[in-house]
Amino acid sequence: MKIGILLKEGPYNHQAADSAYQFIQAARKRGHEIESVFFYNDGVNNAANKAEPPQDDRNIYQRWSDLGAEGVNILVCVAAAKRRSINEEILIENATITGLGQLTDIAIRADRLVTFGD
């Protein structure tokens, strides 16, 4: 099954980012394909490489970058990013800023679109 992910919450302030990541890992282990991960609303903060979590804490930003390095499309809504002062200079590696129309394309191509966050 091809799955698209929509993440609408930022890291560390809600469970959504962790839940989305864990869902992706479990789905991939079961043989499902992750079409793309689309960060929207406060979810774009997951792609901002401007924080340094403590060494004993999970690094959510690095998790997303590593997932991108493994071939999963990590996409960031340009309008939501601009509203939060996120640009290419502070974007995590392996992520791409794109338009909201890309989310529609993901929903069309994927068998399921799973949303995390409010």
Domains observed in the chain: 2-116 (3.40.1260.10)
Which residues are catalytic, by number? 77
Q: Could you please report the per-residue DSSP string of 68-96?
A: HHTT-EEEEEHHHHHHTT--GGGBPTTEE
Residue percentage of the chain with pLDDT more than 70 = 100
pLDDT of residue 51: 76
pLDDT digits (tens, 9 = 90+) for 58-106: 899 999 999 999 999 999 999 999 999 999 999 999 999 999 999 999 9
CB 78 within 8 Å of CB 99:
yes
Q: Which residue has the tokens 């996120």?
A: 86
Range from 13-17, 52-56, 78-82 that averages highest in pLDDT = 78-82
